[in-house]
Amino acid sequence: MTAEEKTGLAHFLDLAAAVTGSGYRTSSPEYHFSDDPAPVPIAPTPQCDVAVPPTPSSLISHSSFPAPPVPSPQSPVPSQSDSLAQIAAEVRACTACKLAGNRKNAVPGEGAAKPLVMVIGEGPGSDEDASGRPFVGRAGQLLDKMLAAIGLFRESNCFIANVIKCRPPENRDPQPMETAACASFIGRQIDLLNPHFILCVGRVAGQTLLNTTDPIGRLRGRFIDFETGSRTIPFLATYHPSALLRNEDLKRPAWEDLKLLRTALEQANLLPSRTT
Ligand code: URA
């Protein structure tokens, strides 16, 4: 490991530990690591490994998403000339499932219009429901730190959204009908944003987007081809930041996933190389 990698990991672990504890760390200790004398051999990780079957042409009709059981007049419908603002307006007006009845705010997503990375989570929690913004609670603050550790920021180069736009009660898993009712929103967002990479956080988002029941431990750790119809997007799943807040043991593999994404961004000349 390089000194920079060690420092990044130490800060990441510090942050995760601090967030897990009583409050948030406002400053980190100074670390003075040195490079390892020889590179640590790492098993080659397949980039953009095809792990999902070929899918039909548009994500809106992506086989990953179950079809809405009962199309209703309120169901989200893609418009001719789509825009992020149009989608956000439809999300806020949507009454396609019963989650609409309990929301304070729908949470369409936010971030850069031409993102390097689209980060996709599960659905709003109470802080997000209260604010109308994605990932603003404890898990969201940890997510921001994790992204910053690899040079990603919602203000400039990534977009953050969820597969579900309204908060499920008691933060339960979304039900299939709810996921189906929301499916076209995230599909249209992916199509419009056309990100270079997708970073999917957590089991629910991973299983929903990939239409699989595989556990997150099997989905994470490698790039998967995500077919939108018009292109293939490298898709990386990792643990949800809430899971990292609950389980210390997941921090190291999550950091490995983030390093994989950073390396891929560097190899695609989308971020400057840190190792040369
Ligand atoms: N968890 C999520 O998956 N999404 C959010 O926006 C907040 C918490």
Considering only residues 259 and 43, tell me which one the structure prediction assigns the higher pLDDT.
259
Residue 150's pLDDT is 98
Q: Phi first, then psi: what are they for 198, rounded to 5°? A: -115, 130
Q: Are strands 223-227 and 232-238 parallel, antiparallel or unpaired?
A: antiparallel
Query: Is residue 24 scored above 70 in pLDDT?
Result: no
Measured in Å, residue 204 CA sits from the centre of ligand 1 at 11
Q: Is the CB of 125 under 6 A from ligand 1?
A: yes
Residue 274's pLDDT is 85
Q: Is the CB of 109 under 6 A from ligand 1?
A: no
Considering only residues 20 and 54, tell me which one the structure prediction assigns the higher pLDDT.
20
Give me the residues paired with residue 159 across strands: 111, 118
Q: Is the CB of 168 under 6 A from ligand 1?
A: no
Cα distance between residue 231 and residue 194, in whole Å: 9
Q: Which of 122, 143, 164 to mutate to test the pocket of ligand 1 (most atoms within 8 A of CB)?
A: 122
pLDDT tens across 220-263, in order? 999 999 999 999 999 999 999 999 999 999 999 999 999 999 99
Minimum-distance ligand 1 atom for the alpha carbon of 121: 3
Cα atoms in the 13 Å half-sphere on the side-chain side of 189: 34
Best CA proximity match to 70, nearest among 173, 174, 177, 167 = 177
Q: Is the CB of 121 under 6 A from ligand 1?
A: yes
Residue 12's pLDDT is 61
Task: Give the residue carrying structure tokens 């999550």.
Answer: 254
Residue 93's pLDDT is 98
Considering only residues 234 and 64, tell me which one the structure prediction assigns the higher pLDDT.
234
Query: Is residue 8 scored above 80 in pLDDT?
Result: no
pLDDT tens across 99-145, in order? 999 999 999 999 999 999 999 999 999 999 999 999 999 999 999 99
Measured in Å, residue 52 CA sits from the centre of ligand 1 at 25
With 0-12 / 13-18 / 19 or more C-beta atoms within 10 angstroms meaning exposed / middle / buried, residue 25 is: middle
Separation in Å, CA 170 to CA 96, 99, 124, 167, 195: 20, 12, 11, 8, 32
Measured in Å, residue 237 CA sits from the centre of ligand 1 at 15
Q: Is the CB of 162 under 6 A from ligand 1?
A: yes
Q: Is the CB of 129 under 6 A from ligand 1?
A: no
Cβ neighbour number for residue 116 with a 10 Å cutoff: 20
Measured in Å, residue 142 CA sits from the centre of ligand 1 at 11
Cα distance between residue 159 and residue 152, in whole Å: 10
When computed from its CA atoms, the radius of gyration of the chain, rounded to whole angstroms, is 19
Residue 81's pLDDT is 74
Query: Is residue 68 scored above 50 in pLDDT?
Result: no
Q: What is the mean pLDDT of the chain?
A: 81
Q: Is the CB of 244 under 6 A from ligand 1?
A: no
Do 239 and 202 touch, CB atoms closer than 8 A?
A: yes
Residue 241's pLDDT is 98
In our burial notation (b when 16+ CB lie closer than 10 A, e otherwise), range 160-198 reads bbbbbbbbbeeeeebeebbbbbbbbbbbbbbbbbebbbb
State the average pLDDT over residues 182-196: 97
